[in-house]
Amino acid sequence: MLSTHSVLGLWIRHDINSNTKERFSKADKIAFLQHKIELLVNPNEEDSRLLIDKMWELNDASKSTEEQMDDKLYTKTQEEIVRVTQRILKTEWERVKKLD
């Protein structure tokens, strides 16, 4: 299953050749969502900091031209985002279960 970040990264990457206005609009939406996630995660937790770093790495990679883009690095970063997001969700789920 792809995380929201990976899906959004793919969305921009897929439209790398779209017109500038449309691409800028998508980039704004992605930046907004990235900032929102930053506000929702705990910056004192290692996995949260890693998630933020990887999201911005993916964002930067998606701004590259098709020729400059390293597909393997892009895919690896997406996979890392999925793994760290799963760890964060599991940790949060364990915290919620303890409240019952």
Low-confidence residues of the chain, pLDDT below 70? 1-24, 64-69
Q: Which pLDDT value is given to residue 2?
A: 45
SS3 content of the chain, % helix, strand, coil (to 5): 80, 0, 20
pLDDT at 23: 59
Q: Say if residue 40 is exposed, middle or buried (CB neighbours under 10 Å; 0-12, 13-18, 19+).
A: exposed
Q: Which domain holds residue 25?
A: 4-99
pTM value is: 0.68
In the chain, the amino acid numbered 20 is T
Whole-number pLDDT of residue 60: 81
Domain count, the chain: 1
Give the pair of three-digit tokens for residue 51. 């998630």
Compute CA distances 93 → 9, 50, 52, 86, whole Å: 26, 19, 20, 10
